[in-house]
Amino acid sequence: MKDSANPENEGKVFLYRYGKKIFDKIMESMKPAFEDETPINPFDFWKGADFKLKITKVAGFWNYDKSEFDASSTLGDFSDKELEGIWKQQHSLAAYTADDQFKSYDELKERLERTLKGNYSANVEEEQYEELQAPTPEPVVSRDTTPSSNGEDDTLSYFAKLAQE
């Protein structure tokens, strides 16, 4: 869609990691809280809706409360052929949902039992340290990458640098 800060990104498909606030907005668009609102699948190319990513700072922290979905429409008013080209640019999420990305039922059950019994050990601390070191997967693609706040690149590069250390 539009990215006035980085016009070279327009027309490209990216993975976008988002948190609870945006997830809640996606879920609310699909299952509205009020009867007079029509549910939409924002990921549908023909009947979906563009997501306007609006980032503000509240008390020194990034805030996405002003982000919203546009009205339902065909993505970019593109033809079916153009939409197929965009569809082919999508990233596979199979690596993020593979079985090896999740602990087995037995591992989770054993850890729960240890926690409930208050039987903490050095082994648990090592597991937590390993989890912090493991890379986290990036979720689904957003239809719009327009930031409304300056300095996002600086912040992201700062956290990327911290992650490498």
Domain positions in the chain are: 7-151
Give 37-86 pLDDT, tens digit per residue. 889 998 888 888 888 888 899 999 989 899 888 888 888 788 888 888 88
Give 116-154 pLDDT, tens digit per residue. 988 765 555 555 555 555 555 555 544 444 444 445 566
Please give the Cα distance from 53 to 144 (Å, whole number).
Answer: 7
Nearest by Cα to 141 from 28, 12, 30? 12
As given in the structure block, the two tokens for residue 119 are 């039987």
Say what the pLDDT of residue 158 is: 74
| Domain covering 7-151: architecture | Alpha-Beta Complex (3.90)
pTM: 0.53
Nearest by Cα to 148 from 70, 56, 61? 56
For residues 15 and 136, which has the higher predicted lDDT (pLDDT)? 15
